[in-house]
Structure formats: C-alpha cells, structure tokens
A and B are shown apart, each in its own frame.
Chain A
C-alpha cells in the first residue's frame, strides 16, 4: 500500500514525497507513530513501583499514547519514546503505584 511513512521503528525515516503523483489518493497514513515520538514533549515522567502494582492494567487502558505495555512478567512498562508525561496513568492507578517525577534531561 502507498503510504506516507516508512514501516520500521528502527531507523524509520520520513519519506519525502516529491511529486503529487506519489501521494495516496486519500490522506491515509501508515506508521506515523514510528517517526513521531511524542516522548519529547515531557516535563514529568511516570515511574512505576512494581511492589505496589496489582496488574489491573487500568493505566494501560487509560494511557492516551501507545506508551504503556505489559512486560513478560505481567507488570507494566513504559515506553519513554511515546510517554508525553500527562500523568493520567498516575491519577488512575488505584494503588498509587505510579508517581510522576520531574525528569532530568
């Protein structure tokens, strides 16, 4: 399928379309998130305490970005390429396992 963007996260680059004929007929895109890292908007960073986490995955459900994933051991991990630091996960976590900490850059 004709798309605007590359397909692999590793080394994905934006394809620059040089002529109008290279554009798809409808403005659809595949894989914009592979190159648009929402993670660089952040001031605060969520930190998960596995000792308090009860694996309810409410944070996973509420995260507006593809930033929370479920690790092999069943606890949650955060993909900091995409976490924009909104704090929704910390607010929703019923056991207060997630805290928002000021990020040092």
Chain B
C-alpha cells in the first residue's frame, strides 16, 4: 500500500490519543489530571462512538491504580496505555518500578508539568526526569507530530526489548496547541506495529507463572543486570525502528540526538522537548548574524545516547545545555548527565548549564540569542563565568 498521510489539525493531546488508537491499544487505565485530561477524554470518545474495537477503558481512582491496572493488563498479554502529568506521575512512581521490573512494555504519555508547590500547571521537565531511575525509556517530543510518531515508535521499541516507555510532551505548548499532524493510515500502522508477542502471559493456563515473587540476594542482582542489558539493546533498536519509520513514512528518527546545523558549529545548544523548536529558529537567525551555532536535540533521554553525545562533543568547542528542570543541590539534569558521559573521554568541550523556562516561564528566540552571546564570551575567554546559570532570575 502506498503511503498517503491523513492530515489533521490536532492538539498534542489529541495526537497522543490518535496514536494510541492507531496502535490498537487494548487497555487504557487513566485518571484525569491537567493538562493530560484531553488525551483520555478523546480515547473515551473513540470508545463511545464505537470507533475502536477491543479497547477496555478502566476508570480508576488515582494514578497509582492506573499504573497498577496497566501492569495487570500488560502482564496478561494486552497492549496497555496510560497518560498523566506532574503530581500524578509522582503518585505512580512506585508502580513504575513494578512495570519495568516485570519487563512490561506499557507506553505512557507524560505531559510535562511543573511540580507543586507553588501550584503550577505549566511546562517543566522535572516531573518526568524525576522518574529517570525507574527503568522506563523516555522520548521527548518537540512538536505534535513527534508526539504522534513517538507513541507508535515507543510501542515498537518497548515490545522489542520488553521495557516500558514514556513519551513526553510539554504542557499547553504542545498539549493544548493545535498544529497539522500527518497521521498514518491504519493498515500501514498495523504493518509497522504488529500485535504484541509477550514474553509470558497470565492467561497461558498450561504454563502458569507467578510475577513479582520474592527475589533473594541470590537472584535479584541478575534481574537488574538484565534490565540494563535491555536498555543497551534499546539503543540499537531505537535507531533501527527510527530508520524503519523514516523509510515507511518519511520522517527519520534514527538519531537519538537530532543534530541541526552542527556540522561546522563552534558551539551548540543542547536540550529536550518543545523548547528546541525555539532554539532551531534562533540558530537560523544567529547563523545569518555570523554565529557558527547549531542545535542538538536529545530525543531519547533513557537510554541515554552516550555515543552520539561523544561524537558531537569531539567536534565542538562548547555545549550550552538548556535545562527546563533542576536537581536541587546539584544542577540541571541533562547537564549533569552530559558532563558525566564526557568525563572519561577525550572530548571535553566547555560545557555550561542554563536553567530556563521553569514552571512555564517564557523562553524565546531572543533568550537564545542572549545565551549565544554569553556562550561566545565564555569560549573566547576559555573559562566559565558560572557553571550553572539561572538565566531568567529577577536580579
């Protein structure tokens, strides 16, 4: 079948809901939380309109239960999906470990939202990054198209390596903003994403298993190692799936870090999610003004794209890491990861951390230009003014 995209004008949340529908998810268990709610409302609407067959919606009383229900469904062999945000994701935390520990390929959309207090519903990556060590893969979408594509790819990667995956989009900037999304006809999605083949199922009565049984010190350690092996395998699978997606549908995702005009760049801006759209636009303007700059958009944060970062770092004089998140007592989380990767290598460009956009603070092209000026000065001087720059702070 020839690929002819179906173009729809949708919000990031509706893009996520359509992707879940096209992935033929069998169980959705979710609790409404701003700004995620319209994802599950749309899915409920698909069911109410009879647009989907074989989809069970479980209305639960909290996110902890939502994830528990997804775990049960996934362990039974179903393709399970949920969506949440901020405090809801935090409430799920314990269950996230159960999902990855039991090696269940659940896919979740997290709408990035700042953690309270002060109460906030705006964009901030600290909620998803706080789940860094739960064994979930994490994909950060720049725009509504990447939300849609990300969910489809996440299922394929997750079901290949048997680990859960989170697709992350930003609050309101994507979740409630309408944009053209090219959707894929169902038959071609089915070709790209065949039905799930589980490692085991709870409904195979000839081979009963118990899940989550005790692992004594004699056995626990090996299972942790197996999760790490699966993450390593995921690096390869992500690139293959991203390439296949590109070949089938014209949008290539084979790079875990998307490089934009970095070839001859003196320094690059590195970051994740929707803010990188702003950065790319700023790069075009800065290039016209004579700055040799580029953008490096980290698409997959877990598994972390170590090799790609190393290749990038070898070829630039500086990296400005833009973190819309913060780890208190230390620094921006992406910055921390990037520095950690490069320490034991021979690629050690100047690397500086800019904390931007927390709690939905506006982050614009002119901010990127100011950061570029500062970064240029830092590189010329050959030393950092400050390592962690609270860029927007009212002084």
- What is A's interface to B at a CB cutoff of 8 Å? 1, 3-4, 16-17, 20, 23, 25-30, 32
Residue of A3, A23, A26, A30 with highest tally of chain B CB at under 10 A: A26
Sample of 13 A–B contacts (CB below 8 Å) = A16-B218, A23-B222, A26-B103, A26-B199, A26-B211, A27-B213, A27-B223, A28-B210, A29-B209, A29-B210, A30-B207, A30-B209, A32-B213
Assuming the A-B contacts A17-B222, A32-B213, are A27 and B208 also in contact, with contact meaning beta carbons closer than 8 angstroms in the complex? no
Question: B219 at the A/B interface (Cβ < 8 Å)?
Answer: yes
Question: B200 at the A/B interface (Cβ < 8 Å)?
Answer: yes
Cβ-closest 7 pairs across A and B: A26-B103, A28-B209, A29-B213, A27-B223, A20-B222, A1-B207, A23-B222
Assuming the A-B contacts A26-B162, A28-B200, are A20 and B209 also in contact, with contact meaning beta carbons closer than 8 angstroms in the complex? no
* Residues in A whose Cβ lies below 8 Å from that of B103: 25-27
- Chain A proximity of B366: nearest CB distance (Å): 50
CB distance A1 to B213 under 8 Å? no
B103 to chain A: closest residue by CB:
A26
Question: B102 at the A/B interface (Cβ < 8 Å)?
Answer: yes
- Chain B proximity of A85: nearest CB distance (Å): 20
CB distance A1 to B209 under 8 Å? yes
- Chain B proximity of A84: nearest CB distance (Å): 15
Question: B290 at the A/B interface (Cβ < 8 Å)?
Answer: no
Expressed in whole angstroms, the Cα–Cα distance for A62 and B345 within the complex equals: 60
Expressed in whole angstroms, the Cα–Cα distance for A52 and B223 within the complex equals: 50
CB distance A26 to B222 under 8 Å? no
Question: B370 at the A/B interface (Cβ < 8 Å)?
Answer: no
CB distance B200 to A1 under 8 Å? yes
Assuming the A-B contacts A27-B212, A29-B210, are A20 and B226 also in contact, with contact meaning beta carbons closer than 8 angstroms in the complex? yes
Question: B214 at the A/B interface (Cβ < 8 Å)?
Answer: yes
- Chain A proximity of B232: nearest CB distance (Å): 14
Interface size class of B (residues with CB under 8 A): 20 to 34
- Chain A proximity of B33: nearest CB distance (Å): 30
A3 to chain B: closest residue by CB:
B209
CB distance A20 to B162 under 8 Å? no
* Residues in B whose Cβ lies below 8 Å from that of A30: 207-210
Question: B294 at the A/B interface (Cβ < 8 Å)?
Answer: no
Expressed in whole angstroms, the Cα–Cα distance for A57 and B161 within the complex equals: 45
* Residues in B whose Cβ lies below 8 Å from that of A16: 218
- Chain A proximity of B358: nearest CB distance (Å): 38
B208 to chain A: closest residue by CB:
A30
In the complex, chain B residues 203-261 whose Cβ is within 8 Å of any chain A Cβ: 207-215, 218-219, 222-223, 225-226
* Residues in A whose Cβ lies below 8 Å from that of B210: 28-30, 32
A26 to chain B: closest residue by CB:
B103
* Residues in A whose Cβ lies below 8 Å from that of B101: 27
* Residues in A whose Cβ lies below 8 Å from that of B102: 26-27
- Chain A proximity of B198: nearest CB distance (Å): 9
A4 to chain B: closest residue by CB:
B219
A14 to chain B: closest residue by CB:
B218
Expressed in whole angstroms, the Cα–Cα distance for A23 and B220 within the complex equals: 11
* Residues in B whose Cβ lies below 8 Å from that of A1: 200, 207, 209
The interface bits of chain B over 100-125 (1 if a CB of A lies within 8 angstroms of the residue's CB, else 0) are 01110000000000000000000000
* Residues in B whose Cβ lies below 8 Å from that of A29: 209-210, 213
The interface bits of chain B over 186-205 (1 if a CB of A lies within 8 angstroms of the residue's CB, else 0) are 00000000000001100000
Expressed in whole angstroms, the Cα–Cα distance for A28 and B210 within the complex equals: 6
* Residues in A whose Cβ lies below 8 Å from that of B223: 23, 27
CB distance A25 to B199 under 8 Å? yes
- Chain B proximity of A21: nearest CB distance (Å): 9
CB distance A25 to B226 under 8 Å? yes
Contact pick for B211, options A20, A23, A28, CB 8 Å: A28
* Residues in B whose Cβ lies below 8 Å from that of A20: 222, 225-226
Expressed in whole angstroms, the Cα–Cα distance for A29 and B223 within the complex equals: 12
CB distance B209 to A25 under 8 Å? no
* Residues in A whose Cβ lies below 8 Å from that of B214: 32
